[in-house]
Chains A and B, each alone.
Chain A
Amino acid sequence: MIEVKELFVELGDFRLDNINVAINKNEFFVLMGPTGAGKTVLLEVIAGLIPVRKGYISIGGKNATTLPPEKRGVGIVYQDYCLFPHMTVKENINFGLHYNKIKKGIAKDRFKRLVQNLNLGHLLNRLPTNLSGGENQRVSLARALMIEPLVLLLDEPLSALDHRFREEIREDLKKLHRDSDTTFLMVTHDFAEAISLADRVAVMNEGRIEQTGTTEEIFRKPCSTFVADFVGMKNLFAVKFCGTEARINYLTIDVGYSPPEGCSYIAVRPEDIVLSLKKLDSSMRNAFSGTIKGLIDRGFYYEVWIESAETIFKATITKRSLFELALSEGMNVFFSFKSTALHLF
């Protein structure tokens, strides 16, 4: 549905460098990355709001590189809803009908359906200033989907909402996407959102796309140190490979297979490390002992820093387990992980 080839954009301090990405019809595609990576810029370029210095964009098979925004069939939903403050909810939702020839009957049906699905029936005559954040965002979605655009761009649609609304609207998004033909392209910071909604993800950094793939691929098989760090693979080490073993300083890790050419890093997710007081009798090939160097409260779980042979590993543990094991700093513990949990790149 969307094809971006060799895109170069310059907008003041923001740049996009050689962006290449293809998004399939009716896909739910998620863009992630740190602040300033260029995610919103890319969104606005696809929408036609920012001019392109070099490159090619096609939407729905048509060359859209120089098309004005109103001719692209690309809707946009912003983080701060951007409802027209001088129009009622109903007028906001129906705004696009003026410019898109849709038969009256079909429009009416669609309006009813959207209003029902998003539970907006009681708000139709209100002005946007009197609505809550969640209600605002739902109106914003209804407005964009009313004209059934080819593509819907969502720029962090949930980050301005209270937690309790986020889950609701996340489910709404899922449902809306399922029920329509529109391709969704969403920017988010929240991993949980990405994992629950995305078909595929792209990670951006400093104006470039670092990696594109399914959520599984991104979170478990990052292809660069940046992506690995970004997705929270906290145990990232530069290693020397020797047969099926990897060496970090004085530690030898059993990888289980010969690594392909060019690999120089291994990584393992903190969640995949198992902690115990005694050495575990298990099939996990990699078992080590170490000293707890730090216990960090992360709200709903704890992060445990263990030093073993001058290398620090970070593991996660629930609060309950922490108390059951009576862990404390300075203690000696055993930690282990499967070689299948290792990611090499």
Chain B
Amino acid sequence: MKVKEPFFWVNISCGIIIMVFILLPLLEMLTAPSLSMVKETIKDKDVVRSIWLSIYTAGLAALFSFIFGTPLAYILARTNFVGKRLVESIVDLPIVIPHPVVGIAILSVAGKNHWIGEIFSDVGIRIMGSVTGIVVVLTFVGLPFYVNAVKSGFENISPRLENVSRSLGASMTSTFFRITFPLAWRSILIGIIMCSARAISEFGAVVVVAYHPMIAPVLIYERYEAYGLSYSQPVAVWLVSICLILFLVLRILTLRKGKSS
């Protein structure tokens, strides 16, 4: 692609348009509230609590995705079976379903009118209006991002490496933990980042299942509905800033480790 060619300039222009499209509303929102407003907001216990709740439920969702999604990603990467395409489409379903529908669906299963809900009720597990419910919703919406990222990662590791390991006497489990997993850790980390990012920003599905306890997006919306933009923007500023920092740190950690290996 030569620098003076029109093809090059068209590409650059589109790139710039997209950058502006993303950054302009965000910068507007970040600079709209006054500094004093922003400082006041973080002193509000409700705000701190809801941002912390957002972070920690997203983290739990990423953890569950990691535990249950990794084996599934491995199977999808390594094997071919009848119905594999169907399974892959099912994994992608949460992305396609409208968010409130996700919340409604989860509530319907969790209520006493459903046999699973009855079991939950008897055992004392509460989904509606609870942290458990929020984590269930966030895991639901975050899983596809995790599974797809990690599946890609596993696909990029030659199965021959695993074959050699087994020929040297290692069982499948040992091979996975000594060879496959260490080689895939960057994709796993990326999967965790993508899953958490998706989870932290979820609103429509969570608000149906749990209004209280309030995650940050619900708090922002409640404040917007009740008192307007100026009251809700500072919370958004804090949430976006904290998330950006968290993800930047994670990305830097992976970059540095990547270079040294």
Selecting from B86-94, B134-142, B164-172, the interface stretch reads: B164-172
Q: B105 an interface residue at 8 Å Cβ cutoff?
A: no
CB pair B167–A95 under 8 Å, yes or no, is: no
Which among A48, A74, A99 has the greatest number of chain B C-beta atoms within 10 A? A99
* Interface SS of chain B: helix
Tell me the nearest residue of chain B to A100, going by C-beta: B169
A48 contacts across to B, CB distance below 8 A: 166
B168 contacts across to A, CB distance below 8 A: 70, 75, 95-96, 99-100, 143-144, 147
A95-B171 contact in complex given A78-B160, A85-B183, A86-B183, C-beta closer than 8 Å: no
CB pair B171–A78 under 8 Å, yes or no, is: no
Interface string of A63-76 (1 = CB under 8 A from B): 00000111010111
CB pair A76–B169 under 8 Å, yes or no, is: no
A69-B167 contact in complex given A86-B261, A99-B174, C-beta closer than 8 Å: yes
Q: A82 an interface residue at 8 Å Cβ cutoff?
A: yes
Tell me the nearest residue of chain A to B171, going by C-beta: A70
A96-B169 contact in complex given A82-B158, A86-B183, A86-B261, C-beta closer than 8 Å: yes
A49-B169 contact in complex given A82-B161, A99-B174, C-beta closer than 8 Å: no
Count of chain A to chain B residue pairs whose CB atoms are closer than 8 Å in the complex? 67
B161 contacts across to A, CB distance below 8 A: 82, 84
B167 contacts across to A, CB distance below 8 A: 47, 69-70, 72, 74-76, 144, 149, 153
Q: B163 an interface residue at 8 Å Cβ cutoff?
A: yes
Shortest Cβ distance from residue A256 to the other chain B in the assembled complex, whole angstroms: 50
Please provide the chain B residues from 162 to 220 with a CB less than 8 Å away from any CB of chain A in the complex.
163-172, 174, 179, 182-183
Residue total for A at the interface (Cβ-Cβ under 8 A): 27
CA distance A47 to B170 in the complex (A): 13
CA distance A84 to B177 in the complex (A): 13
From B166, B183, B261, contact of A70 by CB (8 A): B166
A76-B164 contact in complex given A70-B170, A99-B170, A99-B174, C-beta closer than 8 Å: yes
B171 contacts across to A, CB distance below 8 A: 68, 70
CA distance A153 to B174 in the complex (A): 22
CB pair A70–B169 under 8 Å, yes or no, is: yes
Binding site for A on B (CB under 8 A): 158, 160-161, 163-172, 174, 179, 182-183, 261
